[in-house]
Amino acid sequence: MVMTAVAASGVAPSPYARAAQVLPRTEPADLAGFARRVPTGSLVAVAMSGGVDSSVAAALCAAAGVATIGVTMRLWGSDEMERGEGGCCSLDAVEDARRVCARLGIPHYVLNMRDHFERTVVRDFLEEYGAGRTPNPCIRCNETVKFKELLRRVAAISATHVATGHYARITEGSDGILSLRRGADHRKDQSYTLYRCDQGILAHTLLPLGELQKPRVRQLAGDLGLGVARKPDSQDLCFVGGGDHRVMLERELAGQFASGPIVDLSGAAVGTHRGLPFYTVGQRHGLGGAVASANAEPRYVVELDAARNLVVVGPRRALEVRSCQVGRCSYPAPAPPRLAGLAQARAHAQPEEAVWTSMPGDRARVDFERPQIGIAPGQSLVLYDDDRVVAGGEVVAVVREGIA
């Protein structure tokens, strides 16, 4: 493990750093609610990407009287950082995080987690696309890097908790069971990408922005004089930067894919694809002459058949899914074998009523009240009870309404 300490202020962590002096004393009491579960003597490591959200998260931890340090994870290589690729891993991002810590009066550390990230997130991303599935690398990163592995590594410097700038909340019931809930700002809610956090992770995690709206977060950053107050939010995969992920797939999977037939629902060839990694279920463009049927009805990618190297296309109605199976099931808290709630298939998709029934092993069957469009193997499906995450898993098989 390589850990580079950058003592931004040259002082030890202070329960009342500069942020406590700058933030208005009239802030609502619930702003510090996230810190109520932190025992005296704890040390919180804030995962800082150099953006406004993680910067304000660090400020709120310090202002709440919690001993706080900033930690920036180096997740990508030196060449990519020099070119400005990698978003939160660029040299500018690291420098922004350092400046914020200096402003707040807390130490800043840089953790080299490149190998772990490449092995658990990037490789998985490439393998999933290569197998014709649609992965969500942000979920995998949260699961394997930002919480589990980060908690393990910061324990080496006596940190007891990790805090992040995610828009989600953690609450505790009278029975001591912790629940992961949607953030108060539903437009920015990120609970979907955190669904794999179990009780052990939730007990050592703080989410200071859970009760805040995004405009308020930027206002607080401005009040603190943080240079990142107006910094745009990152919209790209951190290991792709501003580029097209298909360019990365072509480079990294060279020799591992081949062109093949595009077929319609009857099995008739209607075109040629360039390789399964470059297509996703629901895709309409980039299909060449296969995009329209003889009657001019648009065609969409309905299935990626890795065993036969086929791209199957059909009309939009063929994308409708009434039921699916999920694997690698995760339950933040103990759950009964049958659950009814709202299922969400993408980070900002509209949740839909569904019934979740556990199956042998770590699988479950999910039956939707109404047919859903575009659910594909590899995607994560998360079930909510109102705003509380109760189950989640990765889609492994679907039953499509429009395919006999």
Residues designated catalytic: 141, 238
**Hey, how many other C-beta atoms are within 10 angstroms of the C-beta on 165?**
22
Quote the tokens at residue 333: 């808290």
CA separation (Å) from 59 to 161, 232, 294? 15, 19, 60
Quote the tokens at residue 141: 């990163």
Quote the tokens at residue 304: 């990626």
Which residues are paired to 227 by β-bridges? none
Rounded distance, CA 56 to CA 19, Å?
Answer: 10
N residues, the chain: 404
CA separation (Å) from 166 to 23, 38, 96? 20, 18, 18
Rounded distance, CA 36 to CA 129, Å?
Answer: 42
Angle at 182 between CA 180 and CA 185, to 5 degrees: 145
Q: Are 154 and 108 in contact (CB under 8 A)?
A: no
Quote the tokens at residue 375: 């659910």
Rounded distance, CA 378 to CA 403, Å?
Answer: 20
Q: Are 15 and 66 in contact (CB under 8 A)?
A: yes
Beta strands in 174-308 (DSSP E): 178-182, 205-206, 260-263, 269-273, 300-305
Rounded distance, CA 319 to CA 265, Å?
Answer: 12
Angle at 148 between CA 237 and CA 3, to 5 degrees: 80
Rounded distance, CA 285 to CA 208, Å?
Answer: 41
For residue 24, what is the DSSP state?
Answer: -
Q: Are 401 and 317 in contact (CB under 8 A)?
A: yes
Rounded distance, CA 86 to CA 84, Å?
Answer: 7
Q: Which of 376, 392, 47 is nearest to 194 (CA)?
A: 392
* 3-class DSSP assignment, residue 269: strand
